[in-house]
Structure 1
């Protein structure tokens, strides 16, 4: 009886915690309400199964408890019951998986008019790149990656010269415009995750993955890495700032281009070499 009572209390306590818990979904800030709907459907089905199984076990403990003078009789299976269990389980799995697969298919199919930006994950920071005035991003290759060129943009590709490089851990995007996010990793497996957007995707070395969303409210939203990527994983944080079009345009105009960054790097390298040569001549 004590076990049956414990199971009943577990069910009641679990339902009460989930219904009145202060730790729930963050307010939605994108178009992906379908993500929440799929999650709630899965949670509802699994909650129902959790309640049914535990209450059934509690019932069985009480119903078939030991009683003096009563002996248990063996039953060697029931095909009818087995087919019912197979059918109900199959329907439940299909109902849970189908909406998620549908949402995922839509998540990776960006609208044709979506603006783009690229995220490069690196232990333990984010790098961001946007297309320049030509609307196209330059070609990249791992052989071109350096401290000055974390994206590995090809210096010979004219489409990459006006690419906008974001030096800070903060990317800005305009409100109510669909955005396609291209994801790459420089070293290990990362995952670009903004809870309020309900979107996330693994960043796999050697691959370009993507998803899209439309931000629906302004604000400053924290970016987290959702894959354990090393000892500095917890510090791999950044921000996505959603703002009105005019504020976004002003921010974008203030960011350096790939060509400007390469010129600055070359000038800095020449200055260091000249200083080293001068120091050598003075020592002589």
Structure 2
């Protein structure tokens, strides 16, 4: 009886913790509400199954507890029960996978009007590169990385001359405009994580990964590294500032001194 009661309390406590927990995710600030919806669907399905299994275990412990003179029945298999369990499990797994596949298709399909922005992770800071007036980012090469070119930008690419380079500062973005973030690492594996924008992707040295998102709320949002990258991992933080279009354009015009052509030494 005590074991059955504990199991029931575990089920009730789990549901209550889920409903009244103070550790819900932060309010969303991008177009990725689909991710929240997918997680909630998964919570509902797995939560119902968890409660059903625990309550069933409590019932079995109480219903089939040991009693003097009662002998257990040996039943090695039950095809009807196995069939129902297979069908219910398959439906539950499909219900969890289908929304995820739909969201994943959106996640990898970048809008044609998205602006390319490069984000570089290194121990232990974030650096950014924005396209200049030509709207195009220049190419980069890890072999070009050096003290005077920490992002490895290609000096021979004409598109890189007006690129805006920001080392360890703030990344400014306009509200309501899709952004394709090109992610690179120059040393070890990092992970670009914007909790409010529901954006998270690994950054592997030698590879260029990407994510895209559309900011839907102005404000200042923290960039975190979600991959243990060394002793300074805890302080690897950055900032994204989402602004109205007019404010963003005003900020962009003030970044003349950060153009790569001015930062790169003349030969």
TM-score, shorter chain, exceeding 0.5: yes
TM superposition score normalised by structure 2: 0.95
Q: 1:189, 1:123 → 2: CA distance? A: 10
CA contact (8 A) 1:161 1:257 kept: yes
Give structure 2 stretches of 5+ with no counterpart: none
- Structure-2 residue corresponding to 1:140: 140
**Are 1:258 and 2:265 matched, yes or no?**
no
SS at match of 2:264: helix
Give unmatched runs, 5+ long, in structure 1: 268-284
3-state DSSP of counterpart to 2:127: strand
Counterparts of 2:208 and 2:21, CA distance in 1 = 38
Q: Is 1:114 paired with 2:150? A: no
Shift of 1:93: 1.2
1:181 aligns with 2:165: no
Residue in 2 that maps onto 1:282 = none
SS at match of 1:14: helix
Asked if 1:79 corresponds to 2:93, the answer is: no
Name the CA distance, whole Å, in 1 between partners of 2:106 and 2:171: 24
Q: Distance in 1 between matches of 2:104 and 2:130?
A: 24
Say which SS state the counterpart of residue 136 (structure 1) adopts: coil
Deviation string, structure 1 residues 107-128 (Cα, Å, up to 9, x no partner): 1211101112110111111110
Partner SS state of residue 97, structure 1: helix
CA distance in 2 between counterparts of 1:170 and 1:81 reads 59
C-alpha distance in structure 2 between counterparts of 1:123 and 1:7, whole Å? 47
- 1:229 corresponds to: 229
User: Alpha-carbon deviations, 1:48-81, whole Å to 9, x = none?
Assistant: 1110111111111001101111010110111222
- Preserved CA contact (<8 Å) 1:127 1:150: no
Cα separation, 1, equivalents of 2:245 and 2:104: 28
Residue 136 of structure 2: SS of its match in structure 1?
coil
Alignment of 1:128-207 (within 5 A): 128-207=128-207
Counterparts of 2:43 and 2:217 in 1: how far apart (Å)? 27
In the alignment of these two chains, the number of paired residues is: 265
Instruction: Measure, in 2, the Cα distance between the counterparts of 1:123 and 1:93.
Output: 40
Larger Rg: 1 or 2?
1
TM-score normalised per structure 1: 0.90
The structural deviation recorded for 1:253 is 2.2
C-alpha contact 1:109 1:211 (8 A) present in aligned 2: no
CA distance in 2, matches of 1:101, 1:191: 22
